Amino acid sequence: MMLGGVGFQAGLDKARLEQLAAQRQARAEAPAAPGRDVVEQLKDLKALLDDGVLSPEEFQMAKRKVLGG
């Protein structure tokens, strides 16, 4: 017996996308942690970009913040 089906999965997908969008927004707005190595911050941002959590525009904006511009 199958419970849920396509509608259930669509709801899960929507919830996951909303969660990723909230995480992306929080990361883009979060100030850089004091004392953290700039290279590590840039690596973290690149990983978020590669994972699809950040859009290219959000990545560029966050990168500018890290680099002080």
Q: Is the pLDDT of residue 1 over 60?
A: no
Quickly count: other Cβ atoms within 10 Å of residue 58's Cβ.
17
Higher-confidence position of 33 and 21: 21
pLDDT at 38: 87
Q: Is the pTM of this model over 0.75?
A: no
Q: Are 27 and 54 in contact (CB under 8 A)?
A: yes
What would the pLDDT profile of 32-55 be if each residue is shown by its tens digit? 555 568 889 999 999 999 999 989
d(CA 67, CA 52): 22
